[in-house]
Structure 1
Amino acid sequence: MADIAIPYQRLKTIFLDAGNTIVTMELSYLVEALEAAGIACDPVALRRAEAAARPVVSAALPTLRSTETMGTFEFYLREMLTRVSLTPAQSGETVARLAHDLAPLIDRVGRVAFWSHVLPGVPEALAGLRARGLNLTVVSNSDGTVERLLTEVGLRPFFDAVIDSRVVGYEKPDPKIFTHALETVGATAATTLHVGDLYEADVVGARAAGLHALLLDPFDDWPDVDCPRAADLTALVARL
């Protein structure tokens, strides 16, 4: 779908996913846990593997049913580890066991700390969106901690509202979470764009609620999707 499908100049509101849109995993926790198990992994390569795993996770969401379960996170980790070079090399069975053992790390560390890495250029991009007169709201599948996360990393002042799936009781791609967000900030679907990193949750859900949708694809891992894509929020700002 061409970018012309999004009326950039008529937009008044931007909804943003949190994970892998504004913040991402602090991968040092995973790298250190792997090192403790005697396995070396390049953090840069692991970051690339994370993005490459997203289309697989997205495609599996109708079966997984939620982005927020430990089972889904384990699946996510397995797909990441499958796509990165580990030293010494690990069999598929070992990688699956590693993912199972590593998944509880997110709760041991705490989800706020685990997702506390602000993506490069995000503060500047948010400031740029605000400078263009756009209202900004976070719409995130989370466990009730996303507002605290945004506060701790210093980004909460950019947003008019933070919609957390655990708090409101609806999880993307359920269009009800988007409808709730629209009502909360007094926005209309026709002039609202939602930006996120998972097609099944973010694009499918936003479209079902009548919003425009943009998929973040920093490494061109989604060449065949039927929606506009951008590498990051900086690229979005450049289109406005």
Structure 2
Amino acid sequence: MQPQVVTFDAGHTLIELDLEFLARRLGERGVHVEPGALDAAAPAAWRLYDELAATADHPWKELMNALLSGAGVMEPKPHVDWLWDQQREHNLWRTPMPGMVERARDLAGRGVVCAVLSNSEGTLQKLLERIGIADPFRTIIDSGNLPFAKPDARIFHHTLEVLGLPDARPVHIGDSWSADVEAALAVGWDAIWYRSRGGAPGKELNVPIAHDPAEARAALATFGL
């Protein structure tokens, strides 16, 4: 019997943007911005990210430009370029999201094959190991090490090849409607939309939505997991 497979996005599914760390990093460049201002600017920045993620691979700089400008940073582009150059060694997504890694550990303990499938910068495995949350995952797929990224179907097929389970039908959990949910459905996977931002999608699809780990557990149960 083929094992069940669950893949997790990383950013805002397993780990979240550390706004206090971002504010400190900007402070190194003489830019004073309060974490609260960044937090207030985040919803609009993420809406832009989700729009762009449908057609662009990992629009990181666009997200950060919107976030910093929304928080009142004048001429954010040079700071965003610097943050991007520093990202591999000083990843801004560094705070584990409470409860979600425990969901993965619970699944792995029951024999489910768990993996990470994320658009990142090439050092995601090192980051997850450093913060102590890599253990439940059979593999960590990082677009920064590949010539393609979500929503490209190739990264989903590549994940199954790495797992040695080319015929599996995984459940993918992620926060981006376009890059995670629609992309997973397009390759024949199932999907859970985690912690949606900005309301419902523009079209109706029969996809479970989870706003917290308890709801994620209930959503997984609908797939027999």
- Give 1:224's aligned residue: 201
Q: 2:102 aligns with which of 124, 129, 137?
A: 124
- Give 1:205's aligned residue: 183
Contact 1:207 1:213 in 2 (8 A): yes
Q: Deviations over 1:138-178 (max 9, x none)?
A: 11122221111111111121011111223343211111111
2-side partners of 1:214 and 1:45: how far apart?
30
CA drift at 1:223? 2.0
Contact 2:173 2:180 in 1 (8 A): yes
Higher alpha-carbon deviation: 124-133 or 207-216: 124-133
SS at 1:157 equivalent = coil
Give the % identical residues. 29
**Is residue 161 of structure 1 aligned with residue 139 of structure 2?**
yes
Q: Which has the higher contact order (CA 8 A, sep 6+)?
A: 1
SS at 1:104 equivalent = helix
2-side partners of 1:183 and 1:133: how far apart?
19
Higher alpha-carbon deviation: 28-37 or 196-205: 28-37
2-side partners of 1:121 and 1:133: how far apart?
19
Output the amino acid matched with 1:144.
Answer: G
Label 1:62 to 1:123 Cα distance change in 2 as closer, same or farther (>3 A): closer
- Give 1:39's aligned residue: 32
Count residues in correspondence: 215
2-side partners of 1:107 and 1:38: how far apart?
17
Contact 1:190 1:212 in 2 (8 A): no
CA drift at 1:128? 2.5
2-side partners of 1:33 and 1:187: how far apart?
41
Q: What TM-score comes out, normalization by structure 1 length?
A: 0.75
CA RMSD of aligned residues (A): 2.9
What is the 5 A alignment of 1:225-240? 225=202, 226=204, 227-239=207-219, 240=221
In structure 1, stretches of 5+ residues that fail to align are: 1-10
2-side partners of 1:172 and 1:214: how far apart?
16
**Is residue 25 of structure 1 aligned with residue 17 of structure 2?**
yes
Contact 1:73 1:103 in 2 (8 A): no
- Relative to total residues, which structure has the larger helix share, 1 or 2? 1
- Give 1:3's aligned residue: none
